[in-house]
């Protein structure tokens, strides 16, 4: 075997390997050049790099302001001091939240819940821990911030309801969007990802009740955005100020409500009373009062209400979370008698037609009682309304017939749907024989007609509908419709109400006379409500309180009707003392009226749930509200204009 | 066969002046680039990272210069087998009592210091193979039987390292070992057979030896799987950074992918990406050029050395460096799967730097004593 020259082989192969190595290094360079050349044309890597580092952050828009008809701010955005945590920057969330809790004097339970809530949210954006801090608490946190890594203290615009319980129902409240809201937005092609992104922002609130919910689109405004530079963990590193788009405040809304009257209405419900009051302009339909008692503080909901307070509200038998003005459905009781009266007139019942009330009416093998056991004696329409005589209306109902009564009731707004822009408006029910056959699978009987005559049985109306009925009685049979929003984008002034066909002024006049009697004639069931102690100036006609000096001036009067409606089988409470009856079985007290008598302008309806007699309970509340309404006479004052309100808001901002 | 002194420098001053200062200069340049990049990794602050890198290099460089000056190749020849055996023993110890970090058992705890025996093996394999061929009768180099010992010498540590698992280091040892065998004169027939066997072995390894995450990386690399947030995320972000860098880069401290942490492992395995992102294609080319120069200088040393041990050891070190640089840079641009090989001298972390610098201490020493030539005999 020849001696191999190892050195020569080595040198050859080393040279070969060097070439290979150089080629490999070249390949690396070529590959890098290729990546860059690709990018030169497609920009795909540049775009990906930008996509990585730039992120769009939503700026929640300030919500539109809600004003009363004269410009009083009922719902606004105000500075709220908050402490929040950025999870990404925190090592031990429990520990740091616990320390924040100690600084603010909050319980360990608070910290436990806050940690659970925060864990469910974004890791990179601040998650609020506690909102609504006082200036002092805010400062205490600020001083300690250097040692609280990951904690931020900042001020944010948050919805505030300065009058708290007063507008809990008509205006409602906003809340943080729920997961369901986000999902719904994603499913809705009209909303989609951008709306979902907006909803996920922890600063964003959406309307959940009342007008806040109904006018969400108008109020929420337009989100702004910031183009921020983020690192791989999504932590903001800087902002491209040129790309910033400021948010646009939501449009303001002017309501028909008169704040002074709304406040008086809420104050006149007793602390343990449950009910609703509605005041309406009988020509424009403007709702001056939309009150429901008991109220609650809508501010509790803005930053998330705790479980226990919510449970208390939700399970309260007086149902504070319900807007009883539009969702409470009650048997109208005797307030229905005007409808029966008109129907009877239409059926040809003469003014001279009278019945004799001996305390009961025997029909179909049983006795139908009058509320007054001793009876009323001879009653014509006027007196029957004034005394609320049941026996008269049993017979009037028989003469008018249920179909006619139902038709008149519907003309006067009972059972009619009114769109006020708030959710959950209920329509009530005016049953007639057709409805009865279809829904109860049994024929209409005469007994039902008798019950119909006194507003009992299956029928149900809302306080709003009672107010509409009173308004249409007061305005001589014009189909005025209620409204809650005076001015907002897309809201137009309502047309002049038209006269309702088939409603004869002469019939209306008889019924209205009866209502006048209720409030102003001896023996009228509504005398307590009727005595307003107001007189009007002989020249200007302006209502002023009665004083010894102005006794000679003409009184300001109202016409109305009381109602006491059973909530359980007729007669079940008979003979029992009011105080021995369980609250939820007590009669509902109702009162509806319009005024002033000499020149009607306002209608009012009051319902007090399980309050007992309408004359004693609902009447005085209605009196107080009506008295204030006639004194203020809001229809005569110039309402605020949204444009000028918004311009002052802007200049303040 | 041992080494006989030729016309070699004898005084210390003479040795220092005849050190290969070209190699030293390139190494310093690379390490300084490392310091520069770690300053950028720290977002432009003198944190521990750039300082540690610089100090670590300075200390190791001093030791390298001292070692290169006082130890001549005979020392390295003498410890080649003991070093290899020791490293193998430590690898077995790792298997038995190793420390597990991040799912891999690579470390041995010796009091306060924990070390990776697989790093010793990178030098050990080169020296042991160089010694084997140095002492082998040149006529038997091509014989099939004489291939068995080096084959086993490579297989034993590679099997242990694969089991840790550390695919990158295993590959590196295989490549460096084969390079030394090839340079020693392995017959082309065997080289051809080896390629076939290697392909079969790769297939076998893919199916039966690789761990799940390693297979994922290979799959993503081969385009068999799409996983931009898993195994593919690193490479995707790296390609974005390199692709968007342009010829001159985004500027020092200005790399958005690096500075905003989209690029993972930017201080270790993906530092080359950061260099390209901030200094562009030209910056990348400069770094590759420096590494190529370092390899070329090592090859030059190998070509000039008279003894086969010197030639093979110097070339083996050059091959090891080439493997490091190639695997690392090819990995960050998606040419090979992500296997976790740092860029020596620049990536943060002492082991790769130490391995390569010990290698170059040997190269410098071989260069200093290049006229030593092989003579027959039992050691010296």
pLDDT tens digits, one per residue of B168-226: 889 899 999 999 999 998 888 888 888 888 888 888 877 777 777 777 767 766 655 55
CB contact under 8 A, A6 and B302: no
A569: confidence class by pLDDT, cuts 50, 70, 90: low
The two structure tokens encoding residue A301: 């909901």
CA nearest neighbour of A340 among A430, A279, A445: A430
Q: Bridge partners of A429?
A: A460
- Interface check A32 vs B, CB under 8 A: yes
* Cβ-based neighbour number of residue A287 at 10 Å: 29
User: Locate tokens 């001292």: which residue?
Assistant: B66
User: Do A10 and B245 lie within an 8 Å CB cutoff?
Assistant: no
Considering only CB atoms, which chain A residues are within 8 Å of B319? 17
The DSSP symbol for B261 reads T
Question: Percentage of chain B surpassing pLDDT 70?
Answer: 91
Structure tokens at B139: 């006529």
Q: Could you give the CA distance from residue A329 to residue B327 in angstroms, rounded to a whole number?
A: 80
Average pLDDT over residues B51-58: 94
Nearest residue in chain A measured CA to CA from B135: A6
Q: Are residues B185 and A232, on separate chains, in Cβ contact within 8 Å?
A: no
Q: How far is CA A99 from the centre of its chain?
A: 39
Residue B283 and residue B246 in contact, taking contact as beta carbons nearer than 8 Å: no
Contacts of B373 in chain A (CB under 8 A): none
Would an 8 Å CB–CB cutoff place A18 in contact with chain B?
yes
The verdict on a CB contact (< 8 Å) between A232 and B179 is no
Mean pLDDT of A452-474: 95
- The tokens for B299 are 């090859």
Tens of pLDDT along A288-318?
Answer: 999 999 999 999 998 888 888 899 999 999 9
Contact A422, A172 (CB under 8 A): yes
Give me the pLDDT at residue A2, please: 47
A residues 408-447 closer than 8 Å to B (CB): none
Please state which of the ranges A385-394, A415-424, A436-445, B320-329 shows the lowest mean pLDDT.
A436-445
- The Cα of A29 is separated from the nearest Cα of chain B by a number of Å equal to 7
Of A3, A48, A233, the CB nearest to B138: A3
Backbone φ, ψ for residue B106 (5° rounding): -125, -10
Q: Given an 8 Å threshold on Cβ–Cβ distance, is B182 in contact with A232?
A: no
A607 has which bridge partners?
A276, A590
User: Which of B244, B266, B278, B286 to mutate to probe the A interface, most A CBs <10 Å?
Assistant: B244
Q: Are strands A173-175 and A151-160 parallel, antiparallel or unpaired?
A: unpaired
Which of A484, A456, A245, A240 has its CA nearest to residue A331?
A456
CATH topology of domain A56-225+240-255: Penicillin-binding protein 2a (Domain 2) (3.90.1310)
**Weakest-pLDDT range from A64-68, A369-373, B35-39, B271-275:** A369-373
Q: What crossing angle do the helices spanning A463-474 and A337-346 adopt, rounded to 10°?
A: 50
* Residue B12: how many other CB atoms lie within 10 Å: 10
Chain B residue nearest residue A234, CA to CA: B260
The verdict on A4 touching B (C-beta cutoff 8 Å) is: yes
pLDDT of res. B7: 58
CB-nearest to A46 from B237, B244, B312 is: B244
Cβ A17–B182 below 8 Å, yes or no? yes
Domain boundaries, chain A: 56-225+240-255, 259-295+324-636
- CB of A46 within 8 Å of a chain B CB? The answer is yes
Cα gap B108→B102, rounded to integer Å: 14
| For testing contact with chain A, the best of B130, B255, B260 (most A CBs within 10 A) | B260
CA distances to A652, B91, B158, B204 from B208, in Å? 74, 22, 15, 6
**pLDDT for the residue B379:** 39
ipTM of the shown complex: 0.90
Inter-chain CB proximity B303 and A36 less than 8 Å: no
- Distance from the Cα of residue B368 to its chain's centroid: 22
Would you give the DSSP letter of residue B139? G
- A227 shares contact with chain B (CB less than 8 Å): no
Q: In this complex, do A7 and B319 lie within 8 Å of one another by their Cβ atoms?
A: no
pLDDT bucket at B25, cuts 50 / 70 / 90: very high
Residue B24 tokens, joined: 């030293």
Residue A304 near chain B (CB below 8 Å):
no
Q: Rounded CA gap, A56 and A228, in Å?
A: 6
Q: Which of A66-75, A396-405, A522-531, B230-239 has the lowest mean pLDDT?
A: B230-239
Asked if A21 and B295 come within 8 Å (Cβ–Cβ), the reply is yes
Superfamily of domain A259-295+324-636: DD-peptidase/beta-lactamase superfamily (3.40.710.10)
- Would you state the pLDDT for residue B377? 38
pLDDT at site A351: 86
A236 contacts on B by Cβ (under 8 Å): none
Tokens at A363, concatenated = 């029909």
Residue A34 near chain B (CB below 8 Å): no
Interatomic CA distance for residues A237 and A124, integer angstroms: 12
| Residue labelled with tokens 């400062």 | A139
Residues of A whose CB is below 8 A from B257: 49, 52-53
- Domain coordinates of chain B in residue numbers? 2-375
User: Residue A460 forms beta bridges with which residues?
Assistant: A429
Give the model's confidence band at A241: pLDDT under 50 very low, under 70 low, under 90 confident, else very high. Answer: confident
CB contact under 8 A, B256 and A52: yes
Burial of A344 from C-beta contacts in 10 A (0-12 / 13-18 / 19+): buried
């Amino acid at each position: 075997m020849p001696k191999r020259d190892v050195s020569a082989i080595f040198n050859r192969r080393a040279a070969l390997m060097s070439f290979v190595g150089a080629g490999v290094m070249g390949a690396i360079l070529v590959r890098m050049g290729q990546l860059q050349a690709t990018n030169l044309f497609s920009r795909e890597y540049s775009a990906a790099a930008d996509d990585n580092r730039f992120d769009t952050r939503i700026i929640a828009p300030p919500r539109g302001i809600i004003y009363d008809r004269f410009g009083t701010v009922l719902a606004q955005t105000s500075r709220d001091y908050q402490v929040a945590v950025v999870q990404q920057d925190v090592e031990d969330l429990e520990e740091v939240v616990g320390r924040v809790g100690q600084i603010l004097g909050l319980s360990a339970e608070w910290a436990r819940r806050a940690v659970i809530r925060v864990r469910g949210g974004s890791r990179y954006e601040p998650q609020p821990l506690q909102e609504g801090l006082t200036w002092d608490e805010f400062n205490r946190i600020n001083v300690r911030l250097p040692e609280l890594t990951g904690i931020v203290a900042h001020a944010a615009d948050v919805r505030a309801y300065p009058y708290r319980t007063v507008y809990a129902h008509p205006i409602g409240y906003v809340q943080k969007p729920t997961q369901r809201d986000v999902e719904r937005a994603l499913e809705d092609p009209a909303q989609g990802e951008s709306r979902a992104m907006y909803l996920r922002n922890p600063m964003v609130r959406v309307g959940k009740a009342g007008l806040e919910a109904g006018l969400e689109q108008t109020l929420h405004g337009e989100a702004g955005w910031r183009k921020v530079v983020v690192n791989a963990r999504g932590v903001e590193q800087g902002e491209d100020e040129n790309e910033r788009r400021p948010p646009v405040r939501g449009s303001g809304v002017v309501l028909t409500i008169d704040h002074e009257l709304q406040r008086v209405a809420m104050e006149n419900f007793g602390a343990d009373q449950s009910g609703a009051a509605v005041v309406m302009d009988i020509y424009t339909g403007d709702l001056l009062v939309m009150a429901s008692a008991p109220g609650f503080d809508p501010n509790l909901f803005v930053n998330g209400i705790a479980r226990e307070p919510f449970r208390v509200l939700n399970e309260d038998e007086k149902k504070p979370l319900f807007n009883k003005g539009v969702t409470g459905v009650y048997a109208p009781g005797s307030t229905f008698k005007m409808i029966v009266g008109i129907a009877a007139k239409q059926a040809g019942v003469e003014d001279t037609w009278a019945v004799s009330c001996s305390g009961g009416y025997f029909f179909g093998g049983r006795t139908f009682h009058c509320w007054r056991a001793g009876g009323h004696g001879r009653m014509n329409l006027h007196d029957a309304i004034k005394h609320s005589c049941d026996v008269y209306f049993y017979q009037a109902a028989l003469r008018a017939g249920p179909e006619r009564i139902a038709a008149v009731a519907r003309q006067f707004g009972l059972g009619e749907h009114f769109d006020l822009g708030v959710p959950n408006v209920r329509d009530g029910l005016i049953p007639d024989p057709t409805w009865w056959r279809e829904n109860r699978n049994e024929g209409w009987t005469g007994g039902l007609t008798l019950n119909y005559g006194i507003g009992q049985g299956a029928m149900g109306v809302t306080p709003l509908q009672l107010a509409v009925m009173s308004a249409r009685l007061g305005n001589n049979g014009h189909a005025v419709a209620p409204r809650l929003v005076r001015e907002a984008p897309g809201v137009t002034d309502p047309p002049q109400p038209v006269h309702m066909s088939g409603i004869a002024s002469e019939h209306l006049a008889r019924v209205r006379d009866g209502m006048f009697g209720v409030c102003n004639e001896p023996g009228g069931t509504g005398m307590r409500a009727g005595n307003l102690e107001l007189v009007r100036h002989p020249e200007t006609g302006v209502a002023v309180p009665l004083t010894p000096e102005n006794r000679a001036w003409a009184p300001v009067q109202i016409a109305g009707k009381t109602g006491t409606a059973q909530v359980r089988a007729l007669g079940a409470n008979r003979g029992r003392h009011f105080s021995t009856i369980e609250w939820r079985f007590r009669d509902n007290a109702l009162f509806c009226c319009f005024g002033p008598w000499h020149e009607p302008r306002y209608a009012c309806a009051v319902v007090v749930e399980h309050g007992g007699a309408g004359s004693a309970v609902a009447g005085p509340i209605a009196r107080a509200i009506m008295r204030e309404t006639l004194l203020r006479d809001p229809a005569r004052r110039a309402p605020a204009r949204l444009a000028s309100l918004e311009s002052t808001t802007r200049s303040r901002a | 066969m041992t080494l006989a002194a030729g016309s070699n420098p004898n005084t210390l001053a003479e040795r220092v002046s005849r050190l290969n200062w070209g190699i030293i200069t390139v190494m310093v340049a690379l390490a300084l680039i490392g310091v520069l990049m770690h300053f950028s990794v720290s977002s432009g602050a003198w944190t521990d990272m750039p300082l540690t890198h610089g100090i670590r290099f300075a200390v190791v460089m001093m030791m390298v210069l001292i070692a290169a000056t006082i130890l001549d190749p005979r020392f390295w020849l003498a410890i080649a087998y003991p070093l290899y055996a020791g490293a193998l023993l430590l690898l077995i110890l790792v298997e038995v009592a190793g420390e597990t970090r991040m799912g891999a058992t690579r470390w041995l705890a010796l009091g306060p210091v924990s070390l990776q025996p697989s790093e010793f093996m990178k030098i050990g394999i080169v020296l042991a193979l160089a010694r084997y061929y140095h002492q082998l009768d040149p006529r038997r180099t091509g014989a099939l039987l004489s291939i068995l010992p080096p084959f086993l010498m490579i297989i034993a540590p590679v099997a242990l390292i694969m089991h840790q698992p550390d695919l990158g280091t295993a590959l590196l040892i295989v490549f460096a070992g084969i390079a030394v065998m090839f340079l020693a004169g392995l017959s082309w027939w065997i080289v051809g057979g080896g390629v076939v066997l290697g392909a079969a072995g790769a297939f076998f390894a893919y199916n039966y030896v690789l761990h799940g995450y390693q297979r994922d990386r290979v799959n993503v690399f081969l385009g068999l799987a799409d996983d931009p947030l898993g195994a593919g995320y690193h490479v995707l972000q790296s390609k974005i950074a390199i692709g968007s860098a342009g010829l001159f880069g985004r500027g020092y401290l200005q790399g958005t992918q690096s500075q905003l942490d989209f690029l993972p492992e930017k201080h270790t395995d993906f530092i080359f990406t950061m260099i390209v992102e901030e200094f562009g294609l030209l910056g990348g080319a400069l770094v590759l050029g420096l590494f190529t120069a370092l390899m070329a200088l090592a090859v030059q040393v190998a070509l000039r050395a008279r003894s086969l041990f010197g030639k093979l050891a110097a070339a083996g070190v050059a091959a090891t460096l080439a493997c490091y640089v190639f695997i690392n840079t090819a990995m960050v641009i998606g040419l090979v799967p992500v296997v976790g090989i740092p860029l020596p001298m620049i990536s943060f972390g002492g082991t790769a730097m130490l391995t390569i610098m010990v290698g170059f201490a040997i190269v410098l020493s071989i260069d200093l004593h290049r006229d030593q030539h092989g003579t027959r005999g039992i050691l010296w």
